């Protein structure tokens, strides 16, 4: 294969575990094991085809390039919703120092495959957003949450701020991310999940009021021509005969 390959616009995802270097070898191996399992579980539950991703393992984290042509708002909404669920259940019975807590970042841009990894501004940016002082501080200052999310300014403007799915209900704070040694400076947006997703994970849908449930992302019951998408206010038949939405 000739490198670099042609550049293609891709959505980039980077994750990293908190305090990995503070753990002993056995604990580091556990973090790696559970990180991979949780990422697989999250994608399966969110109906995201992880087999189509190009993944670069990074020990206590990973860099993933998602397949072209995806619906970016859906990826962010579904992925983070299921991540909150998975981390809640994983951490529920662990001691505080053993919890798996993640920094997550999204960016997008033209990316190509090089001889020893991926090349492109978005690849560099998404890792620096994930590892930024702002992201680390947000996770450190909010010990009750299991992850924090950082998105690039372009992702925020083009995707998050459009309000699709439940993204309209999430609070993002603008931050300046800079690394003078690497001549990197950009604007980004940090989201710290409230305790609400942890409450969701503890009980089934029917135990919550309609006012609580209206903030949740839709759920896909099945795929195909008659796919039913369960929104908080009812069920809509896609590409089929429409009808009034039924209450959940």
The token pair at 201 is 């994970």
71: three-class secondary structure by DSSP:
coil
Could you give phi then psi for residue 172, rounded to 5 degrees?
Answer: -115, 140
Inter-CA distances, 111 with 12, 92, 103, 166, Å? 9, 38, 22, 28
Q: How many residues does the chain have?
A: 248
**Within a domain: residue 84?**
yes
Residue 49 lies in a domain: yes
Query: Residue 115's CB: how many other CB atoms inside 10 A?
Result: 9
Q: With 90 as the cut, is the pLDDT of residue 199 above it?
A: no
Does the residue 208 lie in any domain?
no
- Residue 137 inside a domain? The answer is yes
Q: How far apart are CA 42 and CA 49, in angstroms?
A: 10
Number of separate domains in the chain:
1
Range of 19's domain? Answer: 8-201
Do the domain assignments include residue 94?
A: yes
Residue-wise pLDDT for 155-173, tens only, equals 999 999 998 998 988 999 9
CA–CA dist 233, 240 (Å, integer): 19
- In whole angstroms, give the CA distance from residue 188 to residue 131: 12
Residue linked to tokens 């920094």? 103
Dihedral of alpha carbons 31, 88, 149, 159, sign? positive
**246: in domain:** no
Asked whether the whole model's pTM tops 0.75, one would answer: yes
The answer on pLDDT for 64 being more than 80 is yes
Note whether 147 and 39 are within 8 A (CB). no
pLDDT tens track for 77-92: 999 999 999 999 999 9
Question: Does 227 reside within a domain?
Answer: no
Question: What is the CATH classification number for the domain harbouring 71?
Answer: 3.30.70.1230
DSSP 163-198: T-TTGGG--EEEEEEEEGGGTEEEEEEEE---SHHH
Question: Do 228 and 222 contact (CB within 8 A), yes or no?
Answer: yes
Confidence of residue 195 (pLDDT cuts 50, 70, 90): low
The CB density around residue 64, as the number of other CB atoms within 10 Å, is 20
Flag whether 106 is in a domain. Answer: yes
The predicted-structure confidence for 14-53, as pLDDT tens digits, reads as follows: 999 998 888 889 989 999 999 999 999 999 999 999 999 9
pLDDT for the residue 221: 39
Give bridge partners of residue 186 from the DSSP assignment: 177
């Amino acid at each position: 294969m000739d490198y670099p390959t042609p550049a293609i616009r891709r959505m980039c995802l980077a994750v990293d575990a908190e305090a990995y270097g503070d753990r002993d070898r056995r604990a580091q191996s556990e973090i790696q094991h559970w990180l991979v399992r949780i990422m697989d579980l999250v994608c399966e539950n969110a109906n995201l085809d992880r087999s189509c991703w190009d993944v670069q393992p990074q020990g206590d984290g990973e860099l993933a390039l998602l397949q072209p042509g995806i619906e970016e708002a859906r990826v962010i909404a579904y992925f983070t919703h299921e991540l909150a669920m998975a981390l809640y259940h994983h951490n529920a019975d662990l001691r505080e120092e053993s919890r798996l807590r993640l920094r997550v970042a999204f960016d997008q841009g033209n990316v190509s495959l090089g001889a020893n990894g991926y090349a492109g501004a978005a690849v560099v940016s998404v890792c620096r957003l994930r590892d930024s002082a702002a992201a680390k501080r947000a996770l450190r200052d909010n010990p009750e949450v299991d992850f924090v999310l950082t998105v690039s300014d372009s992702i925020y403007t083009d995707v998050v701020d459009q309000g699709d799915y439940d993204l309209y209900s999430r609070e993002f704070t603008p931050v300046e991310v800079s690394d003078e040694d690497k001549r990197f400076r950009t604007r980004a947006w940090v989201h710290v999940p409230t305790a609400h997703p942890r409450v969701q994970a503890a009980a089934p849908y029917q135990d919550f009021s309609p006012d609580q449930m209206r903030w949740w992302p839709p759920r896909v019951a099945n795929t195909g021509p008659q796919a039913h998408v369960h929104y908080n206010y009812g069920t809509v038949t896609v590409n089929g005969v429409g009808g009034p939405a039924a209450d959940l």
